A and B are shown apart, each in its own frame.
Chain A
Amino acid sequence: MSTCPSCGVELETPLGCAACGALLELGADATPFEILGLPIGYDVDPTDLRKRLLRFSRLVHPDFYATADEALRSRAESGSAALNSAHEIVADDARRADWLLRALEGPSETDERQMPQEFLMEVLEWNEALEEARESAPGSGARSALTPLEETLNAERASVLAEVARSLSPTPAPGAPALTETRKRLNALRYLDRTLAEMRALRLEQAANR
């Protein structure tokens, strides 16, 4: 951790200094973890993360710089934007894992695009069930069959995510062969999430029409 160029106190975040209130210029290569003052790794305490977001937001909030000169104002704006996007990545399990995988030079989603045929068949079946439910009347068998399917998919999502967590903690070495498995799991998660999002949308639509 570096120290504040204005007052010399150790910095918690490269965004600014909590001790003297100095607003600092953020380097283009600052990582989301660095911005949030966290070590790079999958394990993150959500309560601590939330506190960091709020604490650092006060340092860079553009409202505090409304009357400052333009350079400082734009520094506050870009600092807030960087803080928010860093938080979005680190707070989301799948996005955090994806970021780590890239940082560790693991394969990208397109490097590992091929999923097992059985899995894709399964995805097709989920979508067919969804399509059937969408076309049938509320309260019909096809509609009620969706509830247990959604539960199954949510459980599968949780178990895939747990495997991702296990594979990234402790942090593997850059380029480790095991990263390929992690990428495949993150790809599977995307298919699950797409289907689950459509199921939720159908449920909301149904609730709205009631």
Chain B
Amino acid sequence: MAYSDKVLDHYNEPRNVGSMDKNAKDVGTGVVGAPECGDVMKLQIQVEGDTIVDAKFKTFGCGSAIASSSLATEWIKGKKIEEAMEIKNTDIVQELSLPPVKIHCSVLAEDAIKAAISNYKHKQDGETVGAEAEKQTEGAQ
């Protein structure tokens, strides 16, 4: 299967690779996985007010999973939280011309955005750390 030029571009030069302090109050972290292939993706956002000012990701998986998360971080940077919630996996599929067998990679990226936002919101609610993991899991579904 041949990767599209856009996938190759993100794969060769992934944007926003890295990590943030997951304990910082203005950082939301989402970790999601694809049971179809065992890929795992971490996406983090830094929020000021209601705007995502920075985003980082780390993905262990195929080229399409890396490209999907790279694109996702590019898209959400500078967006308001509510706008970022609107991003659909189908938008990613379209932008990267992903073939049907790689659609789950885009689902993973959408889940990761939602999980990171949910984690961030949860932190702002000031609830206990113990309940956090559960909330994050729910948010990723």
**Which residues of A are in contact with B by a Cβ distance under 8 Å?**
109-110, 112-118, 120-121, 123-124, 127-128, 130-131, 187, 190-195
* Nearest-Cβ distance from residue A91 to partner chain B, whole angstroms: 21
**Contact residues in B for A120 (Cβ distance below 8 Å):** 31-33, 40
Q: Is B34 an interface residue (CB 8 A)?
A: yes
Q: Is B75 an interface residue (CB 8 A)?
A: no
Q: Are B40 and A123 in contact (CB under 8 A)?
A: yes
The residue in chain A whose Cβ has the minimal distance to the Cβ of B60 is A127
Q: Are B31 and A187 in contact (CB under 8 A)?
A: no
* Nearest-Cβ distance from residue A146 to partner chain B, whole angstroms: 15
- 14 new A-B contacts at CB < 8 Å, known A118-B133, A191-B38, A193-B38: A109-B35, A109-B36, A110-B104, A113-B33, A114-B137, A117-B133, A120-B33, A124-B40, A124-B42, A127-B40, A127-B60, A130-B60, A190-B37, A192-B38
Q: Are B33 and A123 in contact (CB under 8 A)?
A: yes
* Nearest-Cβ distance from residue A128 to partner chain B, whole angstroms: 8
**Contact residues in B for A109 (Cβ distance below 8 Å):** 35-36
**Contact residues in B for A117 (Cβ distance below 8 Å):** 31, 133-134, 136-137
CA distance A195 to B137 in the complex (A): 22
Q: Can you name 8 A-B residue pairings with CB atoms under 8 Å?
A: A109-B35, A113-B34, A120-B31, A123-B40, A124-B60, A127-B40, A128-B58, A190-B37
CA distance A137 to B110 in the complex (A): 36
* Nearest-Cβ distance from residue B109 to partner chain A, whole angstroms: 14
What is the total of A-B residue contacts with beta carbons within 8 Å? 57
* Nearest-Cβ distance from residue A131 to partner chain B, whole angstroms: 8
CA distance A187 to B137 in the complex (A): 16
CA distance A110 to B34 in the complex (A): 9
**Which residues of B are in contact with A by a Cβ distance under 8 Å?**
31-40, 42, 58, 60, 104, 133-134, 136-137, 140-141
**Contact residues in A for B31 (Cβ distance below 8 Å):** 117, 120-121, 124
Chain A binding surface, main DSSP class: helix
CA distance A116 to B35 in the complex (A): 12
* Nearest-Cβ distance from residue B26 to partner chain A, whole angstroms: 20
Q: Are B33 and A115 in contact (CB under 8 A)?
A: yes
Q: Are A115 and B38 in contact (CB under 8 A)?
A: no
Q: Are A115 and B60 in contact (CB under 8 A)?
A: no
CA distance A193 to B39 in the complex (A): 11
**Contact residues in B for A116 (Cβ distance below 8 Å):** 133, 137
* Nearest-Cβ distance from residue A113 to partner chain B, whole angstroms: 5
**Contact residues in A for B137 (Cβ distance below 8 Å):** 114, 116-117
**Contact residues in A for B34 (Cβ distance below 8 Å):** 113
Q: Are B38 and A194 in contact (CB under 8 A)?
A: yes
* Nearest-Cβ distance from residue A110 to partner chain B, whole angstroms: 7
The residue in chain A whose Cβ has the minimal distance to the Cβ of B42 is A124
Q: Which among A117, A131, A191 has the highest number of chain B CB atoms within 10 Å?
A: A117
Kindly identify which residue among B35, B42, B140 contacts A190, using a CB–CB cutoff of 8 Å.
B35
CA distance A120 to B30 in the complex (A): 10
The residue in chain B whose Cβ has the minimal distance to the Cβ of A195 is B38
The residue in chain B whose Cβ has the minimal distance to the Cβ of A184 is B35
CA distance A117 to B129 in the complex (A): 13
